[in-house]
Amino acid sequence: METSEPGSVEVAGVTAATFTVHGHHYAIADVTGAHDSYSVLLNGERVWPLEGMPPSRIRPLPAEGPSRLAFGSCRTSAPHDAANVRTHGEDVLRSYGRSLMDGGGGEWPDLLILLGDQVYADNLSPEMKEYIAGRRDTEPQAEIADFEEYAELYRRSWTDPELRWLLSTVPTAMIFDDHDLRDDWNTSASWREKMASTSWWQRRVVAGLGAYWVYQHLGNLPPDEREADPLLRE
């Protein structure tokens, strides 16, 4: 989880200290076993689940037999008003979370797999463009430039209560695709040459891969592999 300040996080009775990346604070609590409900505490204060929400739960993957998977990709972050629904369609992931929260959705999946383009660093919402315009007037205009902007993009993409609850309840694995960095990323030598000629691409790709490591990759790893990760050990 990401926190607004350094501190101690407790998840289902397991405590973890935060670590810091470019001024942002994160914590990983390695919880074992099944929990029909759990709370998250930050510095001793309960912060999750939100008031009126059903409990989050933890269920290990089945040890044997078939597993039920839900999957998707290419989720753009946009407001949920009628105008944006017409241009972007319904937010299926958010709607799926709401359906499970309300007790519908059929049999629950054992695992949710998100197959890329969790965020669109090159195709931003008007609100995200306004945020960028408020902090710089340099290239790349209307695209992500650094880790700070990636962190804000992930925050805006994942703060819907229904989505937060879904990710807190259904085991989830993620991988990035081109739009997490830029459309057609590394698809040809000419593309690479064009991007290398810009003043901002090197910073962007380092920030994009770093943000992927924090917001997606670390959650994919089992505890022993995460403990051995040299970046996390630092």
Q: Are 104 and 204 part of one and the same domain?
A: yes
pLDDT of residue 70: 96
Domain boundary among the residues 31, 59, 87 is at 59
Q: Which of 34, 59, 84 is the C-terminal boundary of a domain?
A: 59
Residues 135 and 147 in one domain: yes
pLDDT reported for residue 48:
96
Please say which residue of 37, 59, 81 terminates a domain. Answer: 59
Residue 20 and residue 109 in one domain: no
pLDDT at 89: 83
Are residues 69 and 25 both part of a single domain?
no
Average pLDDT, the chain: 94
Q: In total, how many domains does the chain have?
A: 2
Among 18-22, 104-108, 196-200, which is the least confidently predicted range?
A: 104-108
Q: Could you say which DSSP state residue 217 is in?
A: I
Return the pLDDT at 77: 77
Least confident of 77-81, 118-122, 193-197: 77-81
CA distances from 111 to 25, 96, 166, 167 (A): 27, 13, 11, 10
- Residues with Cβ within 8 Å of residue 182, at least 6 apart in sequence: 121, 122, 143, 195, 204
pLDDT tens sequence across 79-117 = 778 887 788 888 999 999 999 999 876 789 999 999 999
Shared domain check, 129 and 47: no
Whether residue 138 sits in one domain with residue 41 = no
52-65 pLDDT per residue, tens: 999 999 998 888 88
Q: Do residue 117 and residue 20 come from a single domain?
A: no
User: CA 44, CA 7: separation in Å to the nearest integer?
Assistant: 10
* Residue 207: alpha-carbon gap to chain centroid: 15
The pairing of strands 40-42 and 45-48 is antiparallel
Whether 175 and 71 map to the same domain: the answer is yes
* Closest of 153, 140, 133, 203 to residue 2, by C-alpha: 153
**Predicted local confidence at residue 85, as pLDDT:** 79
Token pair listed for 185: 């990323």
* pLDDT tens-digit readout, 140-194: 999 999 999 999 999 999 999 999 999 999 999 999 999 999 999 999 999 999 9
Phi-psi region of 10 (alpha: psi -120 to 50; beta: other; left: phi over 0): beta
Within this chain, do residues 220 and 126 fall inside the same structural domain, yes or no? yes
- Contacts of residue 190, defined as CB under 8 A and 6 or more positions apart, other chains included, come to none
3-state secondary structure of 20: strand
What is the per-residue pLDDT across 154-168, written as a single tens digit (0 to 9) for each?
999 999 999 999 999
Output the pLDDT for position 140: 97
Give dist(CA 234, CA 12) in Å, integer.
Answer: 26
Structural domain of residue 113, as residue ranges?
A: 61-233
pLDDT of residue 198: 98
Encoded tokens for 10: 């407790």
53 and 159, same domain (yes or no) = no
Q: Verify that 142 and 124 share a domain, yes or no.
A: yes
Q: Tell me what pLDDT residue 105 has.
A: 67
Residue 108's Cβ-side half-sphere holds a number of Cα atoms within 13 Å equal to: 18
Q: Which amino acid is at 201?
A: W
Mapping DSSP to helix (H, G, I), strand (E, B) and coil, where does residue 57 land?
strand
**Would you say 204 and 180 are in contact if contact means Cβ atoms under 8 Å apart?**
no
Shared-domain flag, residues 179 and 114: yes
